């Protein structure tokens, strides 16, 4: 018998300390690059969007790679690409951690529209508020004090 899967995920992650580093001048190029990373791992990017401090992906992933390994590759390779191409004035980094939520086939159009509407959505809601709502909607337990990395100034 052959193996068949439908592994669709809504993936969310932010820039280090939620700094506004994803600029319009390279956002589309970054999105294409991330799509290439996913294709390179036998996956398929359905939708991508975000604003200057975070990104949302809707992707079908191969069963041969774990979600955590895929995110390591996406975040590691894309931050290297941004830094090698000198797309930001400072060293670009993604924040540790991510949100990964399974998506059924019937919900793909709804999640796609949600991701494509990020610019409008965030005129009313911060990333932090959005992320907390996603965790609660998916009934994921979390410790608030460990949810977001904070920049410390001495």
Write the CATH number of the domain with boundaries 8-146.
3.30.70.1290
What is the pLDDT confidence band of residue 152, given thresholds at 50, 70 and 90?
A: low
Asked whether residue 141 carries a pLDDT value surpassing 60, the answer given is yes
pTM: 0.93
- Asked whether the beta carbons of 130 and 14 are under 8 A apart, the reply is no
What is the Cα–Cα distance from 55 to 21, expressed in whole angstroms? Answer: 11
What is the Cα–Cα distance from 108 to 136, expressed in whole angstroms? Answer: 20
Specify the higher pLDDT residue, 148 or 107.
Answer: 107
pLDDT confidence of residue 2: 87
Name 68's Cβ contacts closer than 8 Å, sequence gap at least 6: none
The DSSP-derived string for the chain is -------EEEEEEEBGGG-----TTTHHHHHHHHHHHHHHTT-EEEEEEEETTEEEEEEE--TTS-HHHHHHHHHHHHHHHHHHTT-SSS---BPS--EEEE--GGGHHHHHHHHHTHHHHTTT--HHHHHHHHHHHTT----GGGTS------
pLDDT digits (tens, 9 = 90+) for 19-65: 999 999 999 999 999 999 999 999 999 999 999 999 999 999 999 99
Domain extents in the chain: 8-146
pLDDT confidence of residue 32: 98
CA atoms within a 13 Å half-sphere pointing along the CA-CB vector of 93: 9
Give the residue-averaged pLDDT of 76-84.
98
- Asked whether the beta carbons of 41 and 20 are under 8 A apart, the reply is no
């Amino acid at each position: 018998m052959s193996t068949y899967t439908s592994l669709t995920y809504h993936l969310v992650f932010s820039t280090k300390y939620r700094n506004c580093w994803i600029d319009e001048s390279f956002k589309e190029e970054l999105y294409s690059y991330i799509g290439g990373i996913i294709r390179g791992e036998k996956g398929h990017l359905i939708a991508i969007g975000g604003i200057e401090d975070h990104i949302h992906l809707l992707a079908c992933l191969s069963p041969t790679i774990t979600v955590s390994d895929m995110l390591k590759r996406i975040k590691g390779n894309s931050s290297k690409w941004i830094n090698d191409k000198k797309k930001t004035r400072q060293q670009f980094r993604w924040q540790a951690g991510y949100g990964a939520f399974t998506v059924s086939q019937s919900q793909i159009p709804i999640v796609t529209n949600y991701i494509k509407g990020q610019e409008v959505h965030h005129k009313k809601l911060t990333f932090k508020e959005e992320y907390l709502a996603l965790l609660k909607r998916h009934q994921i337990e979390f410790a608030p004090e460990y949810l977001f990395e904070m920049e410390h100034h001495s």
